[in-house]
Amino acid sequence: MVYARIQSKADTEDLVQDVFLKAYHSLETLRNPELFKAWLYRIAVNKVNDFRRRQKFASLFSFGEKEVDQEYPDTSPDSYDYLAGKQFWQRFNEFLRKLPTLQQEVFRLRFLDHLGLQEIAVTLGRSESAVKTHLYRSIEKFKKEYPHESISTEEAR
């Protein structure tokens, strides 16, 4: 879930550690244990957003520094996997950039994290009908904008 948002293995590990630590310390605030998954995702989404904000702020001061290439995977023995993965995330990120932030998040939570509508609503603190609207619009964009030829690597092999 975290990796799908930042595509950096090292940062993902740090963030996952942060997410679980935060969840561990604020377990008392979980009122409805049935929504544990959504609650945990909410923490994760907030942590990722904080991380992005920090990254954006840090990039303001990194004059002339070469931007680090997104890592996928850090050390892969299979060059095909490496290239296919890199290509996939590039294409996916390119598509997401065309969506408003909330639609991006709803789309990720539905199709990458497989959350239900109610869980997405809890995670993002929105109503279920608002989530449906954003999901509908993001799928409509997906139909038009996402390349049709995106076949799975299994099929490609």
Partner 1 sequence: MKYDRGSHLSPERITLSLVDENDLDRHERDHLVHCAECSEARRHLAGRLENLSNQAARFTPVTPFKVKLPASEASYGTPWTLRFYGGLVAAAICLVLVVTLSWPHLFTHNPRPYGNVNLTAESAADEKLMNEVKNLSNNSLPESLQGIVPDPGYRDDEDEFQGFVVPGDA
Q: Binding residues for partner 1, per CB under 8 A?
A: 3-4, 9, 13, 16-17, 20-21, 24-25, 27-28, 72-74, 81, 84-85, 88-89, 92, 111-112, 114, 117, 132, 135-136, 139-140, 142-143, 146, 148, 150-153
Nearer to partner 1, 38 or 138 (CB): 138
Q: How near is the Cβ of 138 to partner 1 at its closest, in Å? A: 10
Structure tokens at 116: 């239900």
Yes or no: say if 45 and 108 are a contact pair by the CB < 8 Å rule.
no
In whole angstroms, what is the distance from residue 11 CA to residue 50 CA?
12
Between 48 and 135, name the residue whose CB sits nearer to partner 1: 135
SS3 29: helix
User: Collapsing DSSP states into helix, strand and coil, what is residue 90?
Assistant: helix
Nearest C-alpha neighbor of 31 from the set 22, 23, 39, 42 = 39
CB of 155 to partner 1, least distance (A): 9
Nearer to partner 1, 56 or 143 (CB): 143
Please give the structure tokens belonging to residue 15.
Answer: 């963030």
The nearest distance, CB 65 to partner 1, in angstroms, is 25
Given a contact cutoff of 8 angstroms between Cβ atoms, the answer to whether 6 and 48 are in contact is: yes
C-alpha of 27 from chain center: 23
- Residue 42 or 141: the one with the smaller Cβ distance to partner 1 is 141
Shortest distance, position 19 Cβ to partner 1, whole Å: 8
